Amino acid sequence: MAQDWSLSAETATWAAATARLDDFRPLLPAEEEIVARLQSGTFDRLGDGVRPTELDPSRVVRASFLRFLILGGEEGCRPHEKGVLVHGAWVSEVLDLEACRVFRDIGLNDCHFEATPILRAAIINRLFLDGSQLPGLQAERLEARGGLYLRGVELEGAISLDQARLGGNLECDGATIRNRGGYALLGRSLEARNVLLRGATLRGGANLSGAVLAADLDAAGATIPAFEHMALEAGELSCQGSVVLRNARITGEVRLTGSHIAGDLDCTGTVVENAGAGAIEARRVVVNGAFFLRREARLDGTLALTGASIGTIHDEAACWPKAGDLLLNRCRYGAFIDGPVDAESRLDWLARQTPRRWGEDFWPQPYEQLASVFREMGHGEDSSAVLVIKERLQRRARRARTESPVWRALLFVSDGILGITLGYGRRPLYALVWLVFFWLVGVAIFGHAEREGAIMPNSAVVLRAPEWTLCGIEQGEQRSLVASGASQGLAASGQNQLACFRQRWEASSFPAFSPWMYSLDTLLPVLDMGQRSFWRPNPTKPGGRVAINYFYFHSVVGWALSLLAVAGFSGLVKSS
Mean pLDDT, the chain, as a whole number? 86
Q: Is the peptide bond prior to 26 cis by the omega test (within 30 degrees of 0)?
A: yes
Residue 1 has pLDDT above 50, yes or no: no
Please report the pLDDT score of residue 229 as a whole number. 67
Assign 340 to helix, strand or coil.
Answer: coil
Please report the pLDDT score of residue 32 as a whole number. 86
Cα separation, 250 vs 149, in Å, equals: 23
Q: How many CB atoms lie within 10 A of CB 115?
A: 15
**Is the Cβ–Cβ distance between 223 and 241 less than 8 Å?**
no
Cα separation, 357 vs 28, in Å, equals: 67
Residue 15 has pLDDT above 50, yes or no: no
The pLDDT confidence band at residue 476, using thresholds 50, 70 and 90, is low
Q: What is the pLDDT of residues 20-72, one digit of tens each?
A: 888 888 989 888 888 887 766 565 777 778 888 889 898 999 999 999 999 98
Q: Cα torsion at 372, 375, 381, 385 (round to 10°)?
A: 0
Nearest alpha-carbon partner for 136 in 171, 110, 108, 161: 161
Please report the pLDDT score of residue 403 as a whole number. 82
Please report the pLDDT score of residue 413 as a whole number. 77
Please report the pLDDT score of residue 262 as a whole number. 96
Q: For 293, what's the count of Cα atoms within 13 Å in the CB-facing half-sphere?
A: 19
The average pLDDT across 393-409 equals 82
The average pLDDT across 195-202 equals 96
b/e per residue 529-568 (b: at least 16 CB within 10 A): bebbebbbbbeebebbebbbebbeebbebbeebbebbebb
Which has more pLDDT, 187 or 561?
187
Q: What is the pLDDT of residues 237-295, one digit of tens each?
A: 999 999 999 999 999 999 999 999 999 999 999 999 998 889 999 999 999 999 999 99
Which has more pLDDT, 106 or 11?
106
Cα separation, 341 vs 385, in Å, equals: 13
Q: What is the largest CA-CA distance in the chain?
A: 155
Secondary structure element (H or E) that encloses residue 469, with its range: helix 466-469
Q: What is the pLDDT of residues 318-356, one digit of tens each?
A: 999 999 999 999 999 999 998 999 999 999 999 999 998
Amino acid residing at 262: A
Residues β-bridged to residue 171: 149, 196
Residue 491 has pLDDT above 80, yes or no: no
Q: What is the pLDDT of residues 119-155, one digit of tens each?
A: 999 999 999 999 999 999 999 999 999 999 999 999 9
Cα separation, 92 vs 507, in Å, equals: 124
Residue 11 has pLDDT above 60, yes or no: no
Please report the pLDDT score of residue 12 as a whole number. 43
Contacts of 366 (CB under 8 A, 6+ apart): 328, 329, 331, 350, 353
Contacts of 248 (CB under 8 A, 6+ apart): 219, 220, 221, 222, 223, 224, 270, 271
Q: What is the pLDDT of residues 205-233, one digit of tens each?
A: 999 999 999 999 999 999 999 877 689 99
Which has more pLDDT, 541 or 17?
541
The pLDDT confidence band at residue 9, using thresholds 50, 70 and 90, is very low
Nearest alpha-carbon partner for 568 in 381, 400, 387: 387
Phi then psi for residue 485, to 5 deg, are 75, -150
The pLDDT confidence band at residue 311, using thresholds 50, 70 and 90, is very high
Residue 568 has pLDDT above 70, yes or no: no
Task: State the pairing for strand pair 485-488/143-144.
Answer: unpaired
Q: For the whole model, what pTM was predicted? A: 0.77
Let me know the angle formed at the C-alpha of 421 by 418 and 424, rounded to the nearest 5 degrees: 40
b/e per residue 335-362 (b: at least 16 CB within 10 A): bbeebebebeebbebbebbeeeeeeeeb
The pLDDT confidence band at residue 8, using thresholds 50, 70 and 90, is very low
Residue 411 has pLDDT above 80, yes or no: no
Cα separation, 339 vs 380, in Å, equals: 18
b/e per residue 157-192 (b: at least 16 CB within 10 A): bbbbbbbbbbebbbbbbbbbbbbeeebbbbbbbbbb
The pLDDT confidence band at residue 570, using thresholds 50, 70 and 90, is low
Please report the pLDDT score of residue 40 as a whole number. 63
**Is the Cβ–Cβ distance between 241 and 287 less than 8 Å?**
no
The pLDDT confidence band at residue 514, using thresholds 50, 70 and 90, is confident
Please report the pLDDT score of residue 572 as a whole number. 60
Please report the pLDDT score of residue 7 as a whole number. 39
